Amino acid sequence: MDRVQELLLSLLSPPPHLCYLCERECEPSEDGLCDDCRRKLKLAIAPAPPEYVDGLTAGLQYCEELGTLFYRFKVNERRDYTPFLAQFISIPQEWRAELLLPVPLYRWREYQRTYNQSYLLAQYVSSRYQIPICRELLTRTRSTPQQKLLPSKQRKKNLRGAFLAAPECKGRSIVLIDDVVTTGTTISECARTLKKAGAYKVYAACVACSGR
């Protein structure tokens, strides 16, 4: 077979599907997972919202395998993971959400990463639910150490004053969008800041969460 024929065959044959979790070749599936990985994941059932948050939804329980996937998504620039992850984010109708707000990164961290993963997810969620995004409602004013690296007593202190809310949040029902909620202190501080500025309700929707 000559090179022209090989090229034509490669164009006609679809590329192999890789499982999003283990990255092994598998049969295409609706959720993008192989059978083995699908059995490893557990749904998050009625997760408890952190302080100041009026409601929380998460599609999956956080686990080690998901931690690896989130690392690829955020650090290895795997933006192609966005549709797969966004499918696990849901917004209940009873929230009567007016605006989506991706949890902001400090501007220097977003510059280094070249994107905010929460904003990528929010774009898909916005398209599905027809709820507009307003990134300007909340700004991260300083860089902070990762919450999971700190003792629990220091987490609130670490984030206190790290966000600034715009006056336009007053009276609005807002949904914070994030990839994963682990300690819960980040979205709690976001919600506290927004409510202090007059937000009516602040909810949070994420891909996965862990027990706190």
Position 209 pLDDT exceeds 80: yes
Q: Which pTM was predicted?
A: 0.86
Position 8 pLDDT exceeds 50: no
**Cα–Cα dist 37/46, whole Å:** 22
Output the CATH code of domain 41-209.
Answer: 3.40.50
**Cα–Cα dist 34/41, whole Å:** 11
**Which residues pair with residue 178 across a beta bridge?**
206
108-120 CB burial, b ≥16 within 10 A, e <16? eeeeeeeebbbbb
CB atoms closer than 10 angstroms to residue 33: 18
pLDDT digits (tens, 9 = 90+) for 159-191: 777 899 999 999 999 999 999 998 899 999 999
pLDDT digits (tens, 9 = 90+) for 141-151: 887 766 555 55
Residue spans of the domains in the chain: they are 1-40, 41-209
pLDDT digits (tens, 9 = 90+) for 96-124: 999 999 999 988 888 788 899 999 999 99
**Cα–Cα dist 188/163, whole Å:** 11
Q: Which residue has the higher pLDDT, 158 or 195?
A: 195
Please state the rounded mean pLDDT for residues 35-46.
91
Q: Which residue has the higher pLDDT, 21 or 211?
A: 21
pLDDT digits (tens, 9 = 90+) for 48-103: 999 999 999 999 999 988 999 999 999 888 999 999 999 999 999 999 999 999 99
